[in-house]
Amino acid sequence: MIYQPLGIYKVTFPLPFRLNHVNCYAVKGTPGWWLIDAGLQREATIAGWKQFFEEQAIKPSDIKGIYLTHFHPDHYGCSGWLQKYTGAPVYIGEIDAERVRHYWKSDHYILDDLNTLFKENGMPEDILNETISSVNNLIRYTAPHAELTTLKPGQMVMIGDFKYQVILTPGHTDGHICFYNLEEGVLLSGDHLLPEISSNISLWPQTGADPDPLANFLRAIDGIRSLSCKLVLPAHGNPFSAVEERICQLEAHHKARLQEIKNYAGSGSTAYQVCKQVFRQDLSFHELRFAMAETLAHLVYLIYKGELEKFSIEGIDYFKIR
């Protein structure tokens, strides 16, 4: 058990990436159990859930609800299997429920849109093909799909024997949500607030996606200050209590990253050129997708701030200091 007063257990699953784990949580209440996030849909995750259920003598019918912080495969992916196994409802924020439908359930048009976005921003064709292929490989970890019930910001939900508020924290995804217990000051933070790494903030192709995700993220982490949060239970890394210190670190990180990206843009650079300057050179194609989209999120933030401008030459976009 990771936090006894609320009956919270941490259940960690391996991921086949450099970021090699995801923390899900199981909450024990008087009438049964609730789960927070699901892991990737793969055999290691299913075996891990079954092992945890066996260790805690949990029958499938004991699971009363499955709550998801956001739509990314390492959080949403195994929810369909869990729902089929337990019969429990699966809850997610209303914005990210729509993202599931758009990105994971619909003929994979996201691959075409990402291809166009990265091509227009200077990614070479051979690298582009491999990068898009890595995204396609990831989509398979989201099926079978769950039937989703949506949550609204500010809504109160019962998880175990206690009430939690649904907190909308956009940035990592447009509809990312956290679950906050006021009595204990405990935040189930998903990928919004992490102890050691900065959440990836990506610009997604603009079919319904927010045009300025970094601005959303910075507002959302500042908003956590008003909660008087005492303990954060994150999806990656260990629980932590120095919340204000961590928020300040993240704000400083993005301030420095914005200045770095602005400098690399200089008198005219593509997002891909800037990305290769900012991030290490040994990235996998999976990691390069995140790095490229994060670079774009910072570049468009600087455009909205009036510090950069964009121009195009022969169909390729360039950024330069105003």
Which letter does DSSP use for residue 141 in this model? G
With 90 as the cut, is the pLDDT of residue 116 above it? yes
With 80 as the cut, is the pLDDT of residue 108 above it? no
Give the DSSP H or E segment for 67: strand 63-67
**In the chain, where are the structural domains located?**
4-258
Q: What is the pLDDT of residues 21-56, one digit of tens each?
A: 999 999 999 999 999 999 999 999 999 999 999 999
With 80 as the cut, is the pLDDT of residue 206 above it? no
With 90 as the cut, is the pLDDT of residue 281 above it? no
Span 255-275, average pLDDT: 98
> What is the band of 106 on the pLDDT scale with cuts at 50, 70, 90?
confident
Residue written as tokens 């921003």? 121
Angle between helices 271-278 and 285-304 (to 10 degrees): 110
The pLDDT > 90 percentage for the chain reads: 90
Span 7-14, average pLDDT: 98
Query: Which residues face 34 on adjacent strands?
Result: 27, 65
Span 100-114, average pLDDT: 83
The pLDDT score that the predictor gives to residue 187 is 98
Query: Which residues face 12 on adjacent strands?
Result: 23
The pLDDT score that the predictor gives to residue 110 is 82
Can you tell me the distance from the alpha carbon of 230 to that of 262, in angstroms, rounded to the nearest whole number? 36
CATH no. for 4-258: 3.60.15.10
The pLDDT > 70 percentage for the chain reads: 99
Q: What is the pLDDT of residues 142-185, one digit of tens each?
A: 999 999 999 999 999 999 999 999 999 999 999 999 999 999 99
Query: Which residues face 33 on adjacent strands?
Result: 28, 63
The pLDDT score that the predictor gives to residue 250 is 98
Which letter does DSSP use for residue 269 in this model? B
Q: Tell me the C-alpha to C-alpha distance, in Å, between residue 64 and each of 3, 82, 157, 297.
A: 20, 11, 12, 38
Full-model pTM: 0.96
User: Per DSSP, which regions of 216-263 are E strands?
Assistant: 231-234
Q: Closest Cα partner for 109 from 12, 21, 222, 205?
A: 205
User: Tokens in use for 132?
Assistant: 């898009």
> What is the band of 280 on the pLDDT scale with cuts at 50, 70, 90?
confident
